[in-house]
Structure 1
């Protein structure tokens, strides 16, 4: 496993590796010019699972990389202090120690832990002594329909509690009605409220109506200073998909080409199998290149994904698939 080009344990916020996206003035001409060829996008996305195949030690190396990119998440109404503490323990030790030793990757951690505001302080305490950031979902998650001043206040409370990343949800109605000025204004104010904490803009793509809306909303959020754009809350009927991902990462590519600033990408919801993670990693490498294979520019929003990756790594080491209960979250 030491043949990997970069250390997958490198977990850091974007400002450590590159200049943070400062945003720019809203360019409505650029937004209006954005189109999306749905049939071409869907054909390209359908071809992705068969375009790249990695086996044996190379597959194991890519799966270790995927672990370092996971925002290990619990966003349930029945979350408890004990559950969050167990999740944090799993983030610190995502794979059994003897397996990581055998794979040559002791000390590997996940990219972050993502929780509701109520559990931020619990997670921060549980992760003391590590470089694993806590991400808080905010701004009336998942619908984003609470009063705007309360959404801004919620961001401030989460930052005060120790969250280093804030996952905000946009007002979908602005994208659905083409009110890009309103979306830009809200996003810019949320970005300012985050201060030094990095902001991931959740587009809730399953509720935006079209891939063109996804592309335009992605661009507007980046213009307003988003550090990451994220597909979904995980609560919609349709979450991360390959066509949506292709649209969003090409918007990221165009934004960097025009401004020089890199913006991260986070697919969330529905990514539960190791083979799915490999497809997303190959997509990122093909479309955006090597920098987007690091935690400062790419994250998976997931929970059950880690368990399946751990099963695949055990199979690589032993030749046998183990039962899921051997790789529980806590």
Structure 2
């Protein structure tokens, strides 16, 4: 009824549209005007619920296992976990498996070693909540008129608007947008008590991430269907490596019963290396072929960025009666991202 009313009102506002009550879209099927029959009266229309096909009651599952123990000279903590979290918007899903190993070892009264390690595998089944007509899950469910069928008479997915058929988007065999990440985060350090109050620390850390993004649209979809080459596949491989090394030397001294000083000097170096490779394939023999090597049209590009950050710093703390405190800090930071003539910054200036 609202569609008919809008149709007639638009015709009144702009007569050139030739939109009248007589040729309204929802009228008896027997009313044929210019060879076009009516859709049927409003009360005769069937309602197609698309929201129930995309929304769901989501579940969250968590499993954790940890083992810890040790002795006077060594301690360990081993942990493993798994998370599976569904999204309320089909087919969104998040899965993560993790393994952690932490070790602390006291070699003697002066030397301590420590190791912290974590390995993570993450999988995300993604949806495009509101990104464009061609693959926006929520938009496809909201903006299709409810009287439009989900499928044509021949069984093919129906699209009565500019939005994708919702069943195409929730079926991962037809539309698959997902990411996989394998990541290691670790830090190893040594601490040496050189003299009473004088302590040296050195650490090295690694953050390595292998990240794979992929999209697939088969030939039933807007993106992967005609008039484009049939089928669309895109993969982006990103490898990120961050290495950080830090050394500090600290000295703590009680000058007398009222005064204490702490002196710290150190440096840190961080190296970042990011590699990105992207591949796109279109025109597959059929929907069972999803490897980009099988596509008739293939494109690819690569890029890489590297940077280094070096820092030197010092800090002096003075306290009197544990009530009055004075602190002085100085540092210098240099980055390969800065210009050749202005590569270092000094603080305070």
Normalising TM by the smaller chain, what interval? under 0.3
Larger-Rg structure? 2
**Which is strand-richer, 1 or 2?**
2
- The two structures have a TM-score, normalised by structure 1, of 0.19
